[in-house]
Amino acid sequence: MPRLMTDAGALARARRRNRLETAATLGVLVLLAGGVGQLAAGVEGLVVGAAFAASTLLFSAVPGEVLFRQGFGAVPLSPFQAPGLYAMVAELSRRAGLPAAPRLWLLPQRPLQAVAGGTTSDPGIGVTRSLVEALTPRELAAVLAHEVSHIRHGDLFVLRLATVAATATRAMAQAGLIVALVVGLGAIGAHPLLPALLILSPLAADLLTLSLSRSREFLADAEAAELTGDPEALASALARIERIQGDDFERLAARGPFWLRWFRTHPTVAQRIAALATIARPLDQPFGWEPAWHTAPAPPRRRLIVRNPWAR
């Protein structure tokens, strides 16, 4: 079987589709939050909801060090402890055009896991020892490229914005229900279906937020394939993780009806591997095809060279 590399055209189409989905989902979330605020308390509710969302967005950012130390119980990894790991992240960050490489953290959890967190100015990437030791260096580089891609495309802010909009929707819906129960629908001139709308709107906001999260995972996978020049490495890493611990930590939709997938933060492993296959082409393509990162007159970017992450 020939080695695979990223298909420039397919990658560009995946990016456009994902960005359109992101913009549409965020737009619907904002409109839903505003509509619930207006239904619950009129123009005043809309203003209060907007102020609540703005203040929450402003003060909800958690710096990387605080998040990883207090939220995950992680400890920082130094370049002396994991020089190979730092070399991977430094090269990936350079290829992604990040101003500085994210700080690395060792997570205490047992599952095979990597996570990007923090703010755009203070990002970090956490990994578990089990992940580092279970994957080959090539696969590990692909997983780290996925997390670097989240930072590169501002997913830390995008998902925080979606969460704030969903939170505002829930808060305004609860306030509206309290008013309707205490005062009565007739007294406030509300439609009889208002309670049902207020009850269902938080669920709709949560489902939209989860959908956005899954969409950004697909984009991060595609960008990771471009950063490493090796789409099959990420597919191999996902397959290996699935063999070791199942269909990721959520386990939803591994069994049961299809609609359970709506409650996942990540697509299933099968979906992610299938999406990677759509942006890959064999390395031995006929003349005229160029790798996704080729921009004349610069030579095409080589595959990322990786080594033991703990080696000095």
Contact 25, 215 (CB under 8 A): yes
Average pLDDT over residues 281-301: 38
Confidence of residue 305 (pLDDT cuts 50, 70, 90): low
Which tops the pLDDT comparison, 297 or 201? 201
Give the chain's domain count. 1
> Which residues fall within 8 angstroms of residue 15, CB to CB, at 6 or more apart?
219, 222
Q: Which DSSP string do the residues of 28-71 spell out, in sequence order?
A: HHHHHHHHHHHHHHHHHHHHHHHHHHHHHHHH----HHHIIIII
Q: What does the alpha-carbon distance between residue 16 and residue 193 come to, in Å, rounded to a whole number?
A: 38
Structural domain contains residue 128? yes
* Residues written for the chain: 312
Q: What is the per-residue pLDDT across 161-202, written as a single tens digit (0 to 9) for each? A: 888 888 888 887 877 777 767 666 554 455 566 777 788 888
Residue bearing tokens 């629908």: 185
pLDDT exceeding 90 applies to what percent of the chain? 26
Those residues whose C-beta lies under 8 Å from the C-beta of residue 159, and which sit 6 or more positions away, are 209, 212, 213, 216
Which tens digits make up the pLDDT trace of 37-87? 776 666 666 666 666 666 655 555 667 778 888 888 999 998 888 898 999
Question: Which residue's entry shows tokens 């991060």?
Answer: 220
H/E stretch holding 185 reads: helix 185-188
Residue 299 lies in a domain: no
Q: Residue 102 has what pLDDT?
A: 93
Catalytic residues: 147
Is 160 in contact with 119 (CB distance < 8 Å)? no
Domain residues for the domain of 235 are 4-282
Spatial strand order of the sheet with 103-107 comes to 75-76, 103-107, 123-128, 114-118
Burial class (CB in 10 A: 0-12, 13-18, 19+), 65: middle
66's tokens: 């605080």
Which pLDDT belongs to residue 250?
A: 61
Cα end-to-end distance, the chain, whole Å: 33
pLDDT at 122 > cutoff 50: yes
- Does residue 131 surpass a pLDDT of 90? yes
On whether residue 138 sits in a domain, the answer given is yes
Would 288 be classed as within a structural domain? Answer: no
Question: Residue 150 falls within a domain, yes or no?
Answer: yes
- CA distances (Å), 288 to each of 32, 195, 284, in order? 47, 61, 11
- Cβ atoms of 179 and 172 within 8 Å: the answer is no
Q: Is residue 222 part of a domain?
A: yes
Name which of 125-129, 138-142, 292-296 the model is least confident about.
292-296
Q: Domain for residue 50, yes or no?
A: yes
Query: Given a cut of 50, is residue 8 above it in pLDDT?
Result: yes
Q: Is residue 291 part of a domain?
A: no
Share of the chain above pLDDT 70, in %: 70
